[in-house]
Amino acid sequence: MGVIDQIKETVEKITKDENLMKEFKADPVKAVEKVTGKDLPDDAVEKVISGVKAKMSADKAGDMLGSIKKLF
C-alpha cells in the first residue's frame, strides 16, 4: 500500500473514531501505528501524519465553506 492510500485509510479511520481522534491529537505516531498495525519507519510515519493533518484541515475548511454558503 502506498503512502497516499495509507493516508486515505488513516484519515477515514481516525475521523470515524472519537477516541482515535483524541489519541492522534495527543500522540500522532502512536495513533498512526495503531491504525496501520505496523511499526513504520520514522520518515514514512511523518509523511502519513503530515498527509492526515493536511487532509483533515482541508475537510474542515470544506465543511466551513459549505456552512457559509448555506447562510446566503
For residue 39, give its domain range.
3-71
What is the reported pLDDT for 65? Answer: 47
**Domain count along the chain:** 1
The amino acid present at 59, given as its one-letter code, is D
Beta-carbon contacts of 36 under 8 Å, excluding residues fewer than 6 positions away, are 6, 9, 10, 48
Q: Cell numbers at residue 70, please?
A: 448555506
pLDDT (0 to 100) of residue 35:
87
Position 27 scores a pLDDT of 92
CA–CA separation, 67 and 14 (whole Å): 23
| 13-72 residue pLDDT tens | 888 898 998 998 899 988 888 888 878 788 888 888 888 888 777 766 555 445 555 555
